[in-house]
Structure formats: C-alpha cells, structure tokens
A and B are shown apart, each in its own frame.
Chain A
Amino acid sequence: MNLVGISINHKTSPLELREALHLNHDEIVTFIPRLKESLFSEGVVISTCNRTEIFGFPKINEFNLSPIINELIQFKPVNGIQQEHFLKFFSCGAVRHIFSVASGIDSMIIGDSQILGQVKESFEISEDLDFAGTALRKIFDTAIKTGKRAIKETKIGEGAVTVSYAAVQVVEKIFSNLDKKSALVIGSGETGELAAVNLRDKNIGKLAVSNRTMERAEKLAEKVHGEIVPFQFLKEQLHNFDIIISATSSDNYIISFENIRSALKRRKNSPVVLMDIAVPRDIDPDVKKIENVFYHDMDSLKIIVDQNLQKRKDQVPLVQKIIIDEMIGFYGWLNTLDVVPTIKTMRSFFEEIRNDELEKIKNKVSKEDFLKIEDMTRRMMGRILHNPTVKLREFAETGANIKEVAAHTMILKELFNLGEVPLNGNEFNEDEHKEDRVNEKE
C-alpha cells in the first residue's frame, strides 16, 4: 500500500511555527483541490493547534515527500520553517501514525480527548470534497475505532491533566453534590474561563464571576450563564460562596487572611474551598491554617496533574496493543482486496463453462429436465468452489502471511489460466465484496 504522509507537530517544532502553519477549516477546503490536482488521488489534511499533517495516496508511485511539504509551505508561507521540522511516513508507518494520533498517545497531553473528533472532522472534509476512496475510508474508520477503543478499554483519558480541571477534581473530593453549591471565579482570563467552564460542566448550583474589568466579567458570565460580583464588592460577598477560584494577574494578594476569617464567621464555619491558580498568588496562603478552609495553590494542584499524566503514560503500552490489534485487522482487510478479484474471476470462469455446457444440451432435453440440470449444475459449482473460496479468503483475512496469499492466488490463476485480474485496492468495490459474502453463505 502506497500511503504516504508528512507531519509537523509538538515533537518536531516550536509553538510559533505550529501556530503559523495551522490551517483552519476554510483553508483546508481551499488547500485540498491543490493537493488533488498536483499530488494525491485521495488524501486527508489534519490541522490542530499542535499538529498539521497530510496523508494520502500519491498519483504516481514516488517516495520523495518533499513536494508535499513544498506544496504546504507555498500554500501557507511561514518564516523559519524547514524540511527538518517535518516527519515523513510511508505505508505501514503512516497507518500506525494515524492510529496513534487518533488514540491520543501522540498528543502533547497524552490521552487528549479532542483529537479523535478533530481526526474525524478532517476526514469528513475530505469525503465532502470527494477526496477519499475506499482504502482511505477504511484507514480512518479503523483509526476512529482505535481511538474509541483506547478510551473505552484503557484509562488513557482519565484524570485531570490541567490545573483548572484538577481544581474541580479536588472540589469534588470535598463536596458531593456540586449542584447544591455556589462558586465564585475571580479573573476572566484563559485559566479563569477554563475553571468556570469546568464548574458549569459539573452542574454547579450557582456560579458567579468577578473581574477588575467589568466588560470581561460580563462576557464570561454570559458564556457560563453566571452572575457578576462587582470587583469592588468582592470581599463583602466572599461568605456567599462554598468554592472560590482565583486566577487574576494581580501582583499582590487580593484576598487576605482576615477576609477569609470574617467570611467563615459569617458562614458559621461552613467549609469553604479556595483554589488559588494565579501566579503570583491571589490569596494569602496562611488561610490554610483556618479550620474548614481548604486552600490549594498551583504547586499543590500540579501534583495531581503530574500524577495523572504519569498514570496516562503507563497506559500507553495498552493503547499500543490496541493499535497493533487494529493494524492486523486492517491489513487482513487490505489483503482481501487482492484476493477478491481473483475469487470473482475464478467463479466467472466456472460459470462460463457451466453456461456453455448448458447451452449445448438446451435443445436436446425437455424444458423440465433442462431446469433440473441447470439447478443441479449450479449447486455442483457452488459445492466445488466453496472450499477454495473460503480458504483463499481465510488466508487473506488472517493477514499473517502475504506471500502465502500471493502464492495461492498465483497457483489458482495458473491452474485455470485466469489471466491478469485487477489488484489495485482503489478499484475495489465494497458492495461487490458484501455480495460475495452473501453468495458464499447461500
């Protein structure tokens, strides 16, 4: 199989280059016709914030991948980008890489849950633009299946791997029902926004946002359907919240020991969780000395993130086993692409002989007898061809020994003088394949 591919990703290049080369949906739609015209008969372009990859079947059997890279750079010129920033893949290596990407083990954050959807979306663009054939469809269907199996059968996607999500995980170890709790997120930057979204996703009962710039607070509050606590009244409102997450860029503490002590008094000592995910810190760390105050900062939350990342790394060998498993299945299917035309030609060959012979006796026997003979010969052919058909397909589907498959196919062709049959996977018709299986069962 002559699948080829290139990849620029977090392992090969710095963030600036990856960001600059990133192709959005419209750019991919514009870029694909160029690839179709000059390089590939079918292909897929995957582009996320951490990788841009192109895979496809070249129009000509050439293993120089530089033209693909050049085409990409010409389409989206980026200063400083070089051939060395790209990984190159061929055949089996290309399939394996696609499966690894889909299962999340090639992601910057191992087990990233978004990549599977992104791979699926990329393939759908190719399909919409008529740039994907049977073989490529099978590769990506299997890749998506691999990704789903990795999530279902391993713990590759489990545990918080961002500080914001780790904060929510700790909160869940203190409170059981977040839908009965109230939370305040201070700061509406990227980290604050992520924390607010995570809390909203966990069905927090009441969510409020506070920020120095009112406009930004309003924007975030609208996004997470939360309330706004004006920044100047922040300290007077602290007692109303069970969870306070602070992520501002302030240089000094915005919440002092005294603020929390008086808030706790007003709460009648009901427990409060403080998550300080700002650098430098927003909350005086001495507050952790107060009973019923659970205070966590970046350092403590990072411990959870690191533990979970290590746990995910430990799952990689299990995912790799799934990848190998799916590759065996895929190559088994691929081998049948060579075998199916041979089987079809063999059956046609015997069918022709049967028809010839039937034609010869058609006028020598009665109509009733002819129908009986026709039926008998059809069944006879079915029985004669059943075993070779099943055996040949079995050889192909196990995919264990391609040479053995080729040898059996060759012997069959020579024995019955079947001549050349098309072996190009691209000409394979899935519907005919299904029909064959149905016939065989019958």
Chain B
Amino acid sequence: MLQPIDSLNILLPILYCLVFAAYLYDFFNEKKFVNNSKRIILFVTLFLHLFYLISRTIEFDHPPITSKFEIFSIIAFSISFSYFILELLTDIRGTGAFIILFSLVFQIASSLFIEHNFVVPEVLRNRLLGLHVINALLGYSGITISAVYGLLFILLFKNLKANKFGLIFNRLPSLEILEKLSFYSAVIGFILLTAAIIIGIIWLPNAFPNFSYFDPKLIGTFFVWIVYGIGILRKLLGNFYGKKVIVFSLIGFVFAIMSLIVTNTLGKTFHSFY
C-alpha cells in the first residue's frame, strides 16, 4: 500500500497544478472545451485525493491528522471539495482559479514534507477526534472560500465604481452572486465549525485530563464562531447586505487567521496533538 501512497503524494500536487492551470486559462480565455473539461479534472483530482487520504488512514491505522503536513493535505482537499460542491450547486465556474490556488499551495507543502507516521499517541487514533478535526478543517475551508469570494466582490465593486470594464468586469459573476457565494460559504463553514465545537466539548474533557475551558485555542475558536454567528444573524434579519456582509466576512477571516497564529505559536495549549 505504501507504493500507491507515495505515488499519489507526488501526483497530487501535479494534478492540483493542472486543475489550477485549467481554471486560470478558462478565466482569461473562456474556451468551451476547457470550460467543460476543468470540472472533470477537478473531480478526478478530488477522487484520487480522497483515495489517498483513506489509504493513509488504513495503512497507518490513524486518520491523517497527526502532523501539520497531514493536516495540510486535508485542508487542500476540503477547500477544493467545498468549492466543487459550490460550483455544482450554483453552476458558476469562473472563480475556481482563486480558490484552487489555496489547495495547490497546501498540497505542495504537504507533499514536500509529509512523513509516514506509524507510531502516534493513542489519542490520535480516536474516531471522534477524526470527526472533530475534519469538521473544524471543513469549517475553516468554508470561511476561507467565503473570504476569497469577499475579495472578488471588493475587486468587482471597486472596478464598477471606477468605471473599469476589463477582465474582472467581464469574467466575474454579478456582485449579488458573489455576495451570495460568500455568505453561503460562511454559513456552511459556521455550521461545520459549530459541529466541531460541539464534538470537542463532549469529547475533549474525557480525552485530556488537563482540559480547560480557558484554553487559548478554545477561546480563539469561540470568538471566531461568535463573529460569524453575529454576521450571519444580522444578514438573516435583513440588516446587512452588499459590501457590509463582505466586510464582516473578511473581518471574520482575518480574526480566524490571527487566532490560529496566536494560539498555535504564543499560547500554551493542551490542544496540540503533534
């Protein structure tokens, strides 16, 4: 089983590179053939990536969450997978390059530095932990996609205000659609993050004797959850639309990134598995 895992480890960055190139080419040139085939290439890549992650889980007898670079691979998968679902639901195909780029970067980093971890702490073999981490990662993927659409919204907004009618104007969907994509991604991210928090609250006190509700990672995640919760609620109540929604999503994303950096580097946490 190691042979196919190693082969896929090399193949995946190449495939993501191909998907990114196809989406980027289509963004600039709008060719019918590329427009139809890029989704197929993305599907094949995701299928192989899923096979790779399952293979690792079976081969090493633990979910691939035991090192930063295993996590990176899951992030790469979850970003592209979330985008794929969004593209299928909305049939808006012009924005893929901006999202797939993130998957490409994460997968390259993962493939370069990933190691075969046969021996890991027993806690990392727990299925609930796997579910908790995957939900959290998919949630963060959702808010990342939301932020990308937010940035695209701001770009188009500025182009329209400045009477610039170039590539951005011609190839991006309308402001309203970008706002919807950003909002829906944020909602999906928020729901998954909620699930991760609930699983965490139930399972963490049993798994870690030194568990504390004042753990910096827990507090950081909770604040991110609160920021998105307020934004989503206000939008649903009708107080928020247009640029305000986008600005809120971007603030939420910056807050999430800052929280991750601070809690992973500065604070002391029980919540570190590797």
The answer to whether A173 touches B163 (Cβ under 8 A) is no
Does B161 have its Cβ within 8 Å of any Cβ on chain A? yes
CB-nearest residue of chain A relative to B168?
A: A173
Given contacts A303-B165, A304-B165, A307-B165, whether A174 and B243 have CB atoms under 8 Å apart is no
Complex-state Cα separation, A185 to B161, whole angstroms = 21
Q: B43-51, B170-178, B184-192, B214-222: which lies at the A interface?
A: B170-178
Does B169 have its Cβ within 8 Å of any Cβ on chain A? yes
Does A222 have its Cβ within 8 Å of any Cβ on chain B? no
Complex-state Cα separation, A300 to B160, whole angstroms = 10
A239 → B minimal CB distance (Å): 15
Note all chain A residues with C-beta closer than 8 A to B174.
Answer: 172-176
Q: A124-132, A198-206, A287-295, A427-435: which lies at the B interface?
A: A287-295
Chain A window 291-319, contacts with chain B (Cβ cutoff 8 Å), 1 for yes, 0 for no: 11010100110011001000000000000
Given contacts A173-B156, A176-B174, whether A294 and B161 have CB atoms under 8 Å apart is yes
Complex-state Cα separation, A175 to B173, whole angstroms = 10
B165, B172, B176, B242: most-surrounded residue (chain A CB, <10 A): B165
Does A189 have its Cβ within 8 Å of any Cβ on chain B? no
Note all chain A residues with C-beta closer than 8 A to B172.
Answer: 173
The answer to whether A173 touches B169 (Cβ under 8 A) is yes
Does B273 have its Cβ within 8 Å of any Cβ on chain A? no
Does B241 have its Cβ within 8 Å of any Cβ on chain A? yes
Does A271 have its Cβ within 8 Å of any Cβ on chain B? yes
The answer to whether B176 touches A175 (Cβ under 8 A) is yes
Q: Helix, strand, loop or mixed for chain B's interface?
A: helix
The answer to whether B163 touches A296 (Cβ under 8 A) is yes
Note all chain A residues with C-beta closer than 8 A to B180.
Answer: 176
The answer to whether A294 touches B241 (Cβ under 8 A) is no
Complex-state Cα separation, A304 to B164, whole angstroms = 9
Complex-state Cα separation, A172 to B180, whole angstroms = 15
Note all chain B residues with C-beta closer than 8 A to A299.
Answer: 163
Within 8 Å by CB of A270, from B165, B169, B242, lies B242
A88 → B minimal CB distance (Å): 41
B173 → A minimal CB distance (Å): 7
CB-nearest residue of chain B relative to A311?
A: B170
The answer to whether A176 touches B177 (Cβ under 8 A) is yes
Does A170 have its Cβ within 8 Å of any Cβ on chain B? yes
Given contacts A300-B163, A303-B163, whether A292 and B176 have CB atoms under 8 Å apart is no
The answer to whether B161 touches A288 (Cβ under 8 A) is yes
CB-nearest residue of chain A relative to B176?
A: A176
Complex-state Cα separation, A292 to B176, whole angstroms = 12
B244 → A minimal CB distance (Å): 8
Note all chain B residues with C-beta closer than 8 A to A172.
Answer: 174
CB-nearest residue of chain A relative to B169?
A: A173
Q: List which A252-301 residues lie within 8 A (CB) of chain B.
A: 269-271, 288, 291-292, 294, 296, 299-300
B172, B176, B177, B243: most-surrounded residue (chain A CB, <10 A): B176
A273 → B minimal CB distance (Å): 9
Note all chain B residues with C-beta closer than 8 A to A294.
Answer: 160-161
Note all chain B residues with C-beta closer than 8 A to A269.
Answer: 242
CB-nearest residue of chain B relative to A273?
A: B160
The answer to whether B242 touches A173 (Cβ under 8 A) is no
B32 → A minimal CB distance (Å): 11
Within 8 Å by CB of B173, from A170, A176, A177, A307, lies A176
Complex-state Cα separation, A19 to B170, whole angstroms = 37
The answer to whether B241 touches A270 (Cβ under 8 A) is yes
The answer to whether A292 touches B243 (Cβ under 8 A) is yes
Within 8 Å by CB of B242, from A170, A292, A304, lies A292
CB-nearest residue of chain B relative to A306?
A: B165
The answer to whether B165 touches A174 (Cβ under 8 A) is no
Complex-state Cα separation, A87 to B165, whole angstroms = 39
The answer to whether B175 touches A173 (Cβ under 8 A) is yes
Chain B window 180-218, contacts with chain A (Cβ cutoff 8 Å), 1 for yes, 0 for no: 100000000000000000000000000000000000000
Q: List which A165-193 residues lie within 8 A (CB) of chain B.
A: 170, 172-177
Complex-state Cα separation, A271 to B246, whole angstroms = 14
Chain B window 137-163, contacts with chain A (Cβ cutoff 8 Å), 1 for yes, 0 for no: 000000000000000000010001101
Note all chain B residues with C-beta closer than 8 A to A292.
Answer: 242-243
A298 → B minimal CB distance (Å): 11
A170 → B minimal CB distance (Å): 7
Note all chain B residues with C-beta closer than 8 A to A303.
Answer: 163, 165
Apart from A269-B242, A271-B175, A291-B243, what are 6 other A-B pairs with CB-CB below 8 Å? Answer: A173-B175, A174-B176, A176-B173, A294-B161, A300-B165, A303-B163
In the complex, 18 of the A-B residue pairs with CB atoms within 8 angstroms, ordered by the A residue number, are A170-B160, A173-B156, A173-B160, A173-B169, A174-B174, A176-B174, A176-B176, A176-B177, A269-B242, A270-B241, A270-B242, A271-B241, A271-B242, A288-B161, A291-B243, A292-B242, A292-B243, A303-B163
The 3 A-B pairs of least Cβ separation, nearest first, read A300-B163, A176-B176, A176-B174
